Structure 1
Amino acid sequence: MNVRRSAAVLAAVAVIGAATPAAAAPSPSPSQAFPSALYGDKDPRYDGVWRQSLALLAQHTVGVKPAAKSVEWLVRQQCADGSFAPYRADPTAACDAKTLVDTNQTAAAIQALTALGGHDAVTGKAVTWLKSVQNKDGGWGYTPGGASDTNSTSVVIGALTAVGEKPQQVEKGGKSPYDALLTLALGCDGDDAGAFAFQPDKKGQLAANADATAAGVLGALGQGMVVKPGEKSAAGKGQACEDRTTPEQAAANGAAYLTKVLAEDGHLTSPAPGSDPRPDYGNTADAVVALAARGDTGQAAKSLRWLAKNAAPWAAQNGPAAYAQLIFAARATGTNPRDFGGTDLVKRLNATGPAPQSAEQTQAAEEKRSDSDVFGVWWYVGVCLVAGVGIGFLFSGRRKKQQP
């Protein structure tokens, strides 16, 4: 979910909300200019499809119609088998064994294109591919065949839900994605009770990971990146951790863990080698979404206020995916993203890519279609009238011939 990546995560996974997923397709040569349809001005080899998907999804969420060429760019990034790589400089070239496709880019593209509508063939192929690379434990790794992790499994659950699939019915070897998530949830002992781990370590042990926990809560709830403002619930406040026998309970346990961690400073932190931990803006935004999805609005609102006060410089530095994360957090809490601590997140996001279709353009297009429809109707009426006149003359002529 965060823009920065530790070496371990870079080697393994892109997470929900991340602006720099792990695996990468070959980069374009330095002499190549990046496509004008692409959001963001940084090298897209690690996150082109990811950040494009988040940008388009965020725009749709706030009622902005993205530029048609930006949507088309995302569609054309798909490989013939339905998968997506982070970036394909030449989408006309067929994908091959060297094209490093992954589950995270694919799942993000599904969520964006499903929301925009009109791309059922594209999303259908992508879902089929995801099902084909599901692990026997029911989950997904970042790359096909990789060990299941909480973040990848959760973003795929969001994609399945977006297209109307029931994640609990998407099974491999009798295991569903929820089964995989439950194996990655910590028990109720110790200070990290209820958290999710990213993956088991080499010894099979689980270590709490706030990033993975935010993803795991959303995944266990069957939610994608965009959630509606949740109704206030006391379920997570002061709730004792219970054995994670159901996805709902695992989500409750994870939310309680996030609430506890966020309560200290209002935000999550990330380790900084050789220095004190730094605020983790991206993961904090995702934690807000996760808590809001469960109705734990108290801590979600507090952390959102912290983001509104502090996250603008981070978003400006990291671009479209960061702005999208903040927009998702604002929406989840019922906050206006156009006045986020004095920052218009929507305007800032739009400025990172092609200008979206304006209301005037949309209206003009609709009027053009309307005029065309009206013309078509009157053309049809005119043809019928002419035909009627012709038939009238024909019948008249016949009657005259029949008269004695």
Structure 2
Amino acid sequence: MNVRRTVTAIAATAVIAAAAAPTATAAPVTAPATPEAPAAPDAPGLHGSTDPTYDGVWRQSLTLLAQDTTGVRPAAQAVDWLTAQQCADGAFAAFRADPAAKCGAKTPVDSNSTAAAVQALAALGGEDTAVRDAVRWLRSAQNPDGGWGYLPGGPSDTNSTSLVAGALTAAGTAPDGVRSKDGKNAHDALLKLTVPCDADGGGAFAYQPDKKGVLAANADATAAGVLGGLDRTLATKAAPAADPADPATCAEPRTAADAARNGAAHLVTALAAKGYLVSSLAGAKDQPDHGNTADAVVALAAAGLTDRADRTVTWLKRDGAAWAAKSGPAAWSQLVLAAHATGADPRDFGGTDLVQRLNATGPAPESVPDAKDTAAEDGKDNAKDSKDDDGGPAVIWIIGIGLVVGIGIGILLSGRRKKRQK
């Protein structure tokens, strides 16, 4: 689910305008970078210290999810901050300054904040009512084509649809069983958002069709789409190794899983040149896109192509910490998830203890396992996953988790909402 996503701040008026007239050509955008620091005094429990208007629920959800996957028990205050943001109907907005006030028709609730919160709260456990209510709201916001847009009623996009599919999975609901009034599900929507194999960028996912209905390859959406097509959460484990044949091929997909494999193949090709993905602003020089690259790593692991991400993981180990230190808790979370997804140690990721750095962005966790405890638990997981469905030997799964979800217009994530990738 991603996130994957780094770029510029957008004003609240732009978000409201997008709600009123969503556009099919909208590219993913980002919230302001969140410097590493404890939460501001007026937002007790929140990780990060910058204005949470556009990304409070997102960054908090990623933080709690990443902490949980490393065995850290988040601070109760941090969990309470997130649950207090939920509206009575189950939805979440990016941030509500006064959570005690009732949500109204003008409260800008969205599918991404809601889906991210579901994934985090479902992983933590003990929040069944909050998860159930949020899933009920997500069902109500499903589009006739089976997908989801960022805002209720907005056109479906790959990023939102994939993030919601991950939330349904996390809540124990099969995404293909959640159907719209027209009988369509998330898989149906994702298939319609894949770039044809004979087109430029064939095999990738588009964010949305442009005004002419053309699907343009988008790296952020592709990383998200791989997880969505495989019904994976942001905290996914790596899949068993895929067919060793060259994965950089595209075959017209019949299922969402086929589309996910095509998407992973596209990412292999996209990473081949530099070992990382790039992003750029108009008139500016291309820059490394750390968040989107971390998402791509998770997507490859989910598709069983972990070995194809080795070079990229090495790059993230070298350059990721400097980026995350400037970007805040969501960025640290992305690195934690990418490290875990590929079997790397998040407590020694290129010499950086990602877990410690993430924990330092907010209230002290209730408990943090030591390295020995973590190693023992990982050993148990590896032993368990080395069995196939019949109890016989199988390929050992690489333990890990991944964040991914690229976010579309209005998808405001901390430190990594990014621009369009082609």
State the TM-score, normalized to the length of structure 2.
Answer: 0.79
- 1:235 Cα shift? 5.4
Q: Which amino acid aligns with 2:172?
A: G
Asked whether the equivalents of residues 159 and 207 of structure 2 are also in contact (C-alpha less than 8 Å), the reply is yes
Asked whether the equivalents of residues 57 and 111 of structure 1 are also in contact (C-alpha less than 8 Å), the reply is yes
Q: What whole-Å deviation, never above 9, does each CA across 1:355-394 have from its counterpart, x for those lacking one?
A: 101359xxxxxxxxxxxxxxxxxxxxxxxxxxxxxxxxxx
Q: Which amino acid aligns with 1:328?
A: L
Taking a change above 3 Å as real, the CA distance of residues 278 and 37 of structure 1, as seen in their structure-2 partners, is same
Q: Which amino acid aligns with 1:138?
A: G
Taking a change above 3 Å as real, the CA distance of residues 34 and 274 of structure 1, as seen in their structure-2 partners, is farther
> Which position in structure 2 is the counterpart of 1:392?
none
Choose from 284, 307, 317 the match for 1:298. 307
User: Greater CA deviation, 189-198 or 327-336?
Assistant: 189-198
Choose from 49, 59, 63 the match for 1:55. 63
> Which position in structure 1 is the counterpart of 2:186?
177
What's the secondary structure of 2:287's corresponding residue?
Answer: strand
What's the secondary structure of 2:286's corresponding residue?
Answer: strand
Taking a change above 3 Å as real, the CA distance of residues 295 and 5 of structure 1, as seen in their structure-2 partners, is farther
Q: Distance in 2 between matches of 1:326 and 1:352?
A: 14
Q: What whole-Å deviation, never above 9, does each CA across 1:109-140 have from its counterpart, x for those lacking one?
A: 00000000001100000000000010000000
Q: Distance in 1 between matches of 2:110 and 2:245?
A: 34
Between Structure 1 and Structure 2, the one with more helix by share is: 1
The 5 Å alignment of 1:85-234 reads 85-172=93-180, 173-234=182-243
> Which position in structure 2 is the counterpart of 1:370?
none
Q: Which amino acid aligns with 2:359?
A: N
Q: Distance in 2 between matches of 1:95 and 1:327?
A: 33
What's the secondary structure of 1:311's corresponding residue?
Answer: helix
Asked whether the equivalents of residues 236 and 256 of structure 1 are also in contact (C-alpha less than 8 Å), the reply is no
Unaligned runs of 5+ in 1: 22-31, 361-404
Asked whether the equivalents of residues 236 and 296 of structure 1 are also in contact (C-alpha less than 8 Å), the reply is no
> Which position in structure 1 is the counterpart of 2:332?
323
> Which position in structure 2 is the counterpart of 1:247?
256
Choose from 80, 84, 89 the match for 2:88. 80
Taking a change above 3 Å as real, the CA distance of residues 6 and 268 of structure 1, as seen in their structure-2 partners, is farther
Q: Distance in 1 between matches of 2:51 and 2:79?
A: 19
Asked whether the equivalents of residues 177 and 185 of structure 2 are also in contact (C-alpha less than 8 Å), the reply is yes
> Which position in structure 1 is the counterpart of 2:357?
348
**Are 1:20 and 2:28 an aligned pair?**
no
Taking a change above 3 Å as real, the CA distance of residues 218 and 235 of structure 1, as seen in their structure-2 partners, is farther
**Are 1:36 and 2:47 an aligned pair?**
no
Q: Which has the higher contact order (CA 8 A, sep 6+)?
A: 2
> Which position in structure 2 is the counterpart of 1:286?
295
Asked whether the equivalents of residues 18 and 321 of structure 1 are also in contact (C-alpha less than 8 Å), the reply is no
Taking a change above 3 Å as real, the CA distance of residues 239 and 317 of structure 1, as seen in their structure-2 partners, is closer
Q: What whole-Å deviation, never above 9, does each CA across 1:43-92 have from its counterpart, x for those lacking one?
A: 10000000000000100000000000110111111000000011111111
Q: Which amino acid aligns with 1:264?
A: A
> Which position in structure 2 is the counterpart of 1:275?
284
Aligned residues between the structures: 348
Q: Distance in 2 between matches of 1:103 and 1:282?
A: 20
Q: Which amino acid aligns with 1:3?
A: T
Q: Which amino acid aligns with 1:148?
A: S
- 1:244 Cα shift? 1.5
> Which position in structure 2 is the counterpart of 1:386?
none
Percent identity, aligned pairs only, is: 57
Q: What whole-Å deviation, never above 9, does each CA across 1:292-317 have from its counterpart, x for those lacking one?
A: 00110122222111111111111011
Taking a change above 3 Å as real, the CA distance of residues 19 and 304 of structure 1, as seen in their structure-2 partners, is farther
Q: Distance in 2 between matches of 1:299 and 1:109?
A: 30
What's the secondary structure of 1:151's corresponding residue?
Answer: helix
Q: What whole-Å deviation, never above 9, does each CA across 1:322-348 have from its counterpart, x for those lacking one?
A: 010111100110110010111110000
Aligned CA RMSD, in angstroms, stands at 2.2
Taking a change above 3 Å as real, the CA distance of residues 259 and 38 of structure 1, as seen in their structure-2 partners, is same
Taking a change above 3 Å as real, the CA distance of residues 223 and 238 of structure 1, as seen in their structure-2 partners, is closer
Q: Which amino acid aligns with 2:294?
A: A
> Which position in structure 2 is the counterpart of 1:2?
5
- 1:229 Cα shift? 2.9
Bigger radius of gyration among the two: 1
What's the secondary structure of 2:280's corresponding residue?
Answer: strand
Q: Which amino acid aligns with 1:305?
A: T
User: Greater CA deviation, 324-333 or 269-278?
Assistant: 269-278
State the TM-score, normalized to the length of structure 1.
Answer: 0.82
What's the secondary structure of 2:153's corresponding residue?
Answer: coil
Asked whether the equivalents of residues 19 and 322 of structure 1 are also in contact (C-alpha less than 8 Å), the reply is no
Asked whether the equivalents of residues 248 and 266 of structure 2 are also in contact (C-alpha less than 8 Å), the reply is no
Q: Distance in 2 between matches of 1:359 and 1:7?
A: 36
Q: Distance in 1 between matches of 2:322 and 2:144?
A: 42
